[in-house]
Structure 1
Amino acid sequence: MPALIGDPSLVYCDERDHPHADKTIEAVRCLYEFFEDIFDSQSIGFQKPSPDFFDYVTSRIKDFNRTEALIIGDSLNTDIKGGIQAGIDTCWVNGGAQISPPEIRSTYTITSLVELFDICLPLM
């Protein structure tokens, strides 16, 4: 979370093997300039929620500290589960009023990215 304050290191990670991968990546292309790096499972050889995926990504972020990071994702089974297994706080973007199973509990749950301000502002 503090990684979002001050001079953050923002990275984008995506799966290249899901049906809408190309559309998703194209949709966020306009945001690429804000990210320090972009990782996709096909290029690195590991898929979320594999710990190897998160180890690969975090090892390439300068001065990465798991206690100062936040994984924001919309998939419980890949983003959130992987973040939990990697020991990193997670924020689940639950846009569809889904119910989280008891074995996958995100640190935070929001329905809109605007709600990230409520999470991050108290840390400033």
Structure 2
Amino acid sequence: MGVPIPGVADWRPFEAYARQYFSELWQLDLQERRTDVGGLVPWKFDLVSPDGRVVGDAKWLKNTAVPAAKWQAIAEYVWLLQKLDAERVFMVFGQDAEVAERYLKRVRPLTPPVEFYFLDGAGHRLI
């Protein structure tokens, strides 16, 4: 658990907060947009630059004793992001960094080039 984000209690406001935060940080207009995965399959991601060179997705997940279903959701997005022709691909997690940390402890060698961030009321950090 991190520092609470004022006004953020579930995934929708977290997505909006992450969109605004990373848009300002990277000086981009990140929006929810569709982009073609592998040049073939249209897919909607939460944080996409107008030119599609930066693509990310926001996840609001709480850690559980056996997070297998959450890890499957993360793995799906890692795989999709890896198939994009983008300069930067990333996932940003809110609520509980431990979900992503535990996932990465097991499979980090399989995740490049996807960047993982945790975002809370104190800012962001690379996981």
TM range (shorter): 0.3 to 0.5
With the length of structure 1 as denominator, give the TM-score of the two structures.
Answer: 0.39
- Looking at both structures, which has the greater relative contact order when contacts are Cα pairs under 8 Å and sequence separation is at least 6? 2
With the length of structure 2 as denominator, give the TM-score of the two structures.
Answer: 0.39
Choose between structure 1 and 2: higher strand proportion: 2
